[in-house]
């Protein structure tokens, strides 16, 4: 056998040492994986994507890439959260400084401008949907862990926004409100912490068309405005919600949920096994009331949520378009249904503290573990009927 020349042997040795020193590529983490890291538990990860197909039935030729499940998942909350973890989503945020401020709630119309979808809903941590009269509903979108510079169209403030603002220690952006029956009520809960105009550019600003659906908001700018007005809160205590990537035991099939507030105001949430989220569909008045994907105009992507939460809340109707929704003061507990991971869970919601978020409990009185990520929360009346056929649920708004 021939000997390898010394110089060649030296070169081969150097090459092998250099290849051993190359650092491996850093993997991209999913929402669930970030939660596992936040709980200081080491997990094994693979590279995911977070795309959602704009269809109730994902395309068989190009379905979304599934999110892998970490080998270890630990609960986060409801009392404490690791540094940099958003207590309203259970996820680590890119900019932890955002958590040292009040959340921002923006009032968003559900009457589609020119029959087009809304802007900015995909960046909200929580979206509350509730009845405003005449079969119509409205959204209150809460921004905390991330901001959005185009949210809307922005509409008027309602009495329930005082409760939401108090529970989440938030400031609220809107384009007006009833000076007799709404604003005095709000002053009992969030005095000074709501904005009613459309000329605070870019915080809440008309885009130049000067029509009822031409006002849009910027959550970071509105937050800065209220800070300058003396309403800053550096470390809000928003504890109360609990999260885990592992679904709770029990529950029943919950593949879809249809929500109806009245004629022309329906929506459907359909579980997509590939993305692990509920995709939102809404009625499109331009196609003879056929449901289509709810699209965020900022991204062009369909709205998708880790949790859909339907709660029964006490409504009091004073006029056809004037209601109170009593969220604060529910210490005994009222029914709710949570949809996560394709399953539905009958639970209880409470608000034992008027300045702490809505809390959710299982049948044994333990904190219910939501899926890490964003949540859509529907405020239905206490007498709202529900129909279940297999895993398909339907809720119809009703108040006594």
Give the pLDDT score at 135.
Answer: 85
Q: Which of 180, 140, 111, 197 is nearest to 322 (CA)?
A: 180
Residues 316 and 21: their CA atoms lie apart, in Å, by 68
Q: Which of 66, 189, 170 is nearest to 126 (CA)?
A: 170
Q: Which stretches of the chain are DSSP H helices?
A: 6-20, 31-38, 160-167, 183-186, 219-226
pLDDT tens readout for residues 31-46: 544 443 344 322 222 2
Q: In this structure, what token pair is assigned to residue 244? A: 């885990």
Query: 349 near 360, Cβ under 8 Å?
Result: yes
Query: 142 near 129, Cβ under 8 Å?
Result: no
Q: Which of 65, 210, 88, 179 is nearest to 142 (CA)?
A: 88
Tokens 């300045």 -> residue: 355
- What is the set of domains in the chain, with CATH numbers? 96-231 (3.50.90.10)
Q: Which residues are CB-contacts of 26 (< 8 A; sequence separation ≥ 6)?
A: none
Residue 177 clears pLDDT 50, i.e. is over it: yes
pLDDT tens readout for residues 182-217: 999 999 999 999 999 999 999 999 988 877 788 999
Q: What are phi and psi of 237, to 5 degrees?
A: -90, 100
Q: Which of 240, 195, 198 is nearest to 104 (CA)?
A: 195
Residues 184 and 188: their CA atoms lie apart, in Å, by 7
Give the pLDDT score at 305.
Answer: 98
pTM above 0.85, yes or no: no
Residues 256 and 237: their CA atoms lie apart, in Å, by 33
pLDDT tens readout for residues 84-97: 999 999 999 999 99
Residues 52 and 63: their CA atoms lie apart, in Å, by 8
Give the pLDDT score at 115.
Answer: 56
Q: Which of 271, 241, 247 is nearest to 90 (CA)?
A: 241
Residue 9 clears pLDDT 50, i.e. is over it: no
Q: Across-strand partners of 388?
A: 393
pLDDT tens readout for residues 239-256: 999 999 999 999 999 999
Report for 108-112, 209-213, 390-394: range of highest mean pLDDT: 390-394
How are beta strands 375-381 and 307-313 bridged, if at all? parallel
Give the pLDDT score at 288.
Answer: 53
Residue 160 clears pLDDT 90, i.e. is over it: yes
pLDDT band at 289 (very low <50, low <70, confident <90, very high): low
């Amino acid at each position: 056998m021939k000997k390898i020349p010394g110089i060649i042997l030296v070169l081969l040795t150097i090459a092998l040492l250099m290849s051993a020193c190359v650092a491996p590529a850093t993997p991209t983490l999913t929402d669930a994986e970030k939660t596992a890291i936040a709980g200081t538990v080491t997990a094994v990860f693979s590279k995911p994507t977070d795309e959602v197909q704009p269809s109730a039935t994902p395309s068989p030729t190009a379905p979304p890439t599934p999110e892998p499940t970490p080998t270890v998942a630990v609960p986060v909350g409801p009392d404490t959260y690791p540094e940099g973890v958003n207590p309203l989503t259970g996820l680590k945020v890119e900019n932890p400084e955002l958590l040292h401020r009040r959340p921002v709630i923006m009032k968003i119309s559900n009457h589609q401008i020119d029959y087009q979808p809304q802007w900015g809903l995909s960046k909200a941590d929580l979206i509350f949907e509730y009845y405003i009269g005449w079969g119509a509903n409205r959204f209150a979108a809460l921004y905390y862990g991330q901001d959005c510079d185009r949210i809307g169209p922005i509409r008027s403030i309602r009495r329930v926004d005082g409760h939401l603002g108090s529970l989440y220690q938030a400031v609220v952006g809107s384009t007006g409100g009833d000076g007799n029956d709404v604003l005095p009520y709000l002053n009992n809960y969030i005095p000074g912490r709501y904005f009613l105009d459309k000329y605070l550019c870019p915080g809440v600003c008309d885009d130049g068309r000067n029509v009822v659906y031409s006002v849009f908001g910027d959550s970071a700018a509105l937050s800065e405005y209220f800070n300058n007005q003396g309403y800053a809160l550096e470390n809000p205590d928003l504890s109360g919600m609990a999260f885990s990537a592992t679904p709770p035991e029990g529950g029943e099939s919950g593949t879809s949920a249809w929500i109806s507030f009245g004629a022309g105001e329906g929506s459907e949430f359909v579980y997509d096994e590939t993305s692990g989220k509920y995709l939102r569909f809404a009625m499109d008045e331009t196609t003879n009331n056929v449901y289509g994907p709810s699209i965020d105009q900022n991204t062009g992507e369909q709205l998708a949520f880790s949790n859909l939460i339907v709660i029964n809340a006490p409504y009091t109707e004073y006029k056809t378009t004037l209601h109170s929704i009593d969220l604060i003061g529910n210490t005994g507990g009222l029914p709710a249904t949570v949809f996560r991971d394709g399953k539905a869970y009958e639970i209880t919601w409470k608000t034992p503290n008027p300045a702490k978020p809505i809390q959710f409990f299982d049948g044994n009185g333990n904190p219910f573990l939501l899926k890490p990520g964003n949540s859509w929360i529907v405020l239905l009346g206490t007498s709202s009927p529900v129909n279940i056929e297999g895993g398909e649920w339907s809720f119809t708004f009703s108040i006594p």
